[in-house]
Amino acid sequence: MTTSLTTLPAARGPISAAVLETLRERPAAPDLRDADPFGDDLHLALHLCYELHYRGLPGVAADREWDTALLEIRTQLETAFRTALRESVPGGSDVDTELDALLTESAPDGAVGFLLAEGEWWHVRELFAHRSIYHLKEADPHAWVIPRLSGPAKAGLVAVEFDEFGGGRADRVHATLFADLLAAAGLPDGYLALLEHVPGPMFALVNMMSMFGLHRASRGSLIGHFAAAEITTAPAARRMDRILRRLDAPAACRFFYTEHIEADAVHEQVMRHEVVGGLLAAEPDLATDVVFGVQATALLEGQLDQHLLACWQAGLSSLRQPLP
C-alpha cells in the first residue's frame, strides 16, 4: 500500500478553514448560516472531524478525538446535514415497501448507463477515485453499531461484517481488495491518498455512514442504510464487471467486483431477515429510522450519480484536480 494522506488538505471554504485552524490548535468558529448542507466545504470539514475517530489525521494528536471545541463544531455540522437529509426525503415507516423497491432492477441509466454504453478507462479511474473514500474503510462505519444491537440483529450483522473483513484472511479484507484495485489501475492506494481529488458528493455519502454509526440514537438509520447498500451491491457489481470486461481492465479491478457479486447476494438475505427483521422485532418504533436510512442512502447516491453524469456528458473531469 502506498503512502496515505501525509498533510492536512487545503480548505474548500470558510467552514473547512475553521475546522483546519481548530485542528492546528487555533480554535475558530465556523459560520453555518449560508452553508450548503451538501456542499464541498461542509463535507470536507465534517469528514476531517470524523477521521479523528478512525485513523486520525497527520500532525493531529490522538487525544484530539475528544477535543470539546472540535466536538462542538461537529455537532453543528451534523445538525445542518441531518436536517437537510430529513427535509429532502419523504419519510414513512413501511420498511418492506422500501426494501422491495430496491430489488426491482431496471435498465441501467445515469453514470453506470453512461459507462456501459460509452465509458472510457479514464472515466472508470475517476469512479475508483471517488469510491476510494469509502472502500478503503469499507464496513468500518457499520462496526460502530454492533454494541448497540442484541439478539438476531447483532448476530446477523456480525456475520455480514465478518465477510466484509475477509472472513479472517487479511488478504481478502474488502478494503485491501480495493487497494489492490487502485494499484492495478495505476492509482495511489493509500488510505485517503486521493482525498484532495474528490469533491463533496462522495464525502456526504461516507459522512452519513459515520454520523449514523457514531450516534446510538441513529442505530435504526444505520441499519436501513446498510441494508440498502447490501441489497443493491450485487447487481451494481455485476454491471461494473461488464464495464471492466469491455475495457479489458486488470484482473485485480474485476476481482473486487466479482467478490461482491457472490458475497452480497447472501448478505442481502441476512440483512433483511436477520438484521432488519431482528431489530424491528425488538424495537418496532425504529421503523421510521430504518426507512430514513434507506431513503437518505438513495438520495446521496443519486446526488453522486448526477454529478458524475453531468461532468462526463460534458466531456469534463468529475474530480477537483487531475489524477496522477
Q: What is the pLDDT of residues 126-162, one digit of tens each?
A: 999 999 999 999 999 999 999 999 999 999 999 999 9
CB 320 within 8 A of CB 199: yes
pLDDT of 212 above 90: yes
Q: What is the amino acid identity at position 242?
A: R
Residue 307, CB half-sphere, CA atoms under 13 Å: how many? 23
Q: How confident is the model at residue 107 (pLDDT cuts 50, 70, 90)?
A: low
Angle at 186 between CA 312 and CA 164, to 5 degrees: 85
CB 227 within 8 A of CB 272: yes
CA 233 – CA 237 distance, rounded (Å): 6
What's the pLDDT at 321?
Answer: 95
CA 212 – CA 219 distance, rounded (Å): 6
* pLDDT tens track for 255-295: 999 998 877 678 888 999 999 999 999 999 999 999 999 99
pLDDT of 1 above 60: no
What does the DSSP assignment read for 199-218? -HHHHHHHHHHHHHHH-GGG
The DSSP symbol for 101 reads H
And the C-alpha cell for 228?
440498502
b/e map 68-91, b = 16+ CB within 10 Å: eebeebbebbbebbbebbeeebee
Q: How far is CA 12 from the centre of its chain?
A: 20
- Mean pLDDT value of segment 110-118: 95
Q: What percent of the chain has pLDDT over 90?
A: 92
* pLDDT tens track for 125-135: 999 999 999 99
CA 95 – CA 223 distance, rounded (Å): 11
The DSSP symbol for 59 reads T
State the fold for domain 95-313.
Heme Oxygenase; Chain A (1.20.910)
CA 205 – CA 300 distance, rounded (Å): 6
pLDDT of 5 above 70: yes
Q: How confident is the model at residue 2 (pLDDT cuts 50, 70, 90)?
A: low
Q: What is the amino acid identity at position 82?
A: R
b/e map 213-229, b = 16+ CB within 10 Å: bbbeebbbbbbbbbbbb
- Mean pLDDT value of segment 62-79: 97
Q: Average pLDDT, whole number, for the chain?
A: 95
* pLDDT tens track for 153-198: 999 999 999 999 999 999 999 999 999 999 999 999 999 999 999 9
CATH 1.20.910.10 in the chain: give the residue spans. 95-313
What's the pLDDT at 211?
Answer: 98
Angle at 179 between CA 187 and CA 158, to 5 degrees: 155
CA 208 – CA 218 distance, rounded (Å): 10
Burial (CB < 10 A; 0-12, 13-18, 19+), residue 183, is middle
Cβ-Cβ contacts under 8 Å for 42 (sequence gap 6 or more): 13, 15, 16, 32, 35, 36, 77, 80, 81, 200
And the C-alpha cell for 51?
477521521
The DSSP symbol for 136 reads T
CA 314 – CA 10 distance, rounded (Å): 27
What's the pLDDT at 209?
Answer: 98
What's the pLDDT at 177?
Answer: 97
